[in-house]
Amino acid sequence: MKRTVVPGRKIICLNRKASFNYFFLELLEAGISLKGSEVKSLRDGKGSIADSYAIDNKGELFLINSHIPLYRQSSYNNHDPKGNRKLLLKKKEINKLIGRINQEGLTLIPTKLYFLKGKVKVEIAVAKGKKLYDKRQVKKTRDWNREKSRLLRKNNK
């Protein structure tokens, strides 16, 4: 799978498990409210969104369970590494997402955390969980494609 490079975009971390565990129905870009020490820590390339998800709290969306380690040079005004972080979206988008979460039983999963023109952005996927047989099928097709490419390489030599 070829990744497209967007000028001015520096990827901090990816959620690789998300595409294996969920079907993505829609992708959205959202801002994220961070403290200075969190941004500095992310500039060092540290951070993880592997087990995180977004929830609704009184009409606002929050990113839960994302880990941004403490910034060493920040002293007394450091941040909570596992704290909840507010997602910045327009009210209309928030209402649409909350409606889809509540009615259709979908979930919001972050897939990427990156810098775009100096601002930290998070790519959120409206996702539906995969069943065990779906995951098995993905593994089977991945293995078959790998074996097929090996055979083709072997025959072309």
Banded model confidence at residue 129, pLDDT cuts 50, 70, 90: confident
Q: Is residue 49 part of a domain?
A: yes
Prediction pTM value: 0.75
pLDDT of residue 146: 92
Q: Is residue 14 part of a domain?
A: yes
Quick check: 1 pLDDT over 70? no
Instruction: Please give the residue that has the higher pLDDT: either 20 or 147.
Output: 147
Q: Is residue 118 part of a domain?
A: yes
Range of the domain at 48: 9-130
Amino acid identity at 120: V
Domain count, the chain: 1
Amino acid identity at 144: W
Q: How far apart are CA 54 and CA 35, in angstroms?
A: 19
Place of tokens 């959205």: 28
Query: The domain that contains 108 carries what CATH number?
Result: 2.40.280.10
Mean pLDDT lowest among 35-44, 56-65, 114-123, 141-150? 35-44
Banded model confidence at residue 144, pLDDT cuts 50, 70, 90: very high
Quick check: 148 pLDDT over 80? yes
Q: Is residue 98 part of a domain?
A: yes
Structure tokens that stand for 28 in this block = 């959205």
DSSP three-state, residue 42: helix
Q: Is residue 136 part of a domain?
A: no
| CA atoms in the 13 A half-sphere facing the CB of 25 | 13
Tens digits of per-residue pLDDT, 62-77?
988 888 888 777 777 7
Mean pLDDT lowest among 70-74, 94-98, 99-103? 70-74
The C-alpha torsion from 117 through 87 and 106 to 110, rounded to 10°, is: 40
Q: How far apart are CA 53 and CA 76, in angstroms?
A: 29
Q: Is residue 68 part of a domain?
A: yes
Quick check: 108 pLDDT over 60? yes
Q: Is residue 154 part of a domain?
A: no
| CA atoms in the 13 A half-sphere facing the CB of 10 | 11
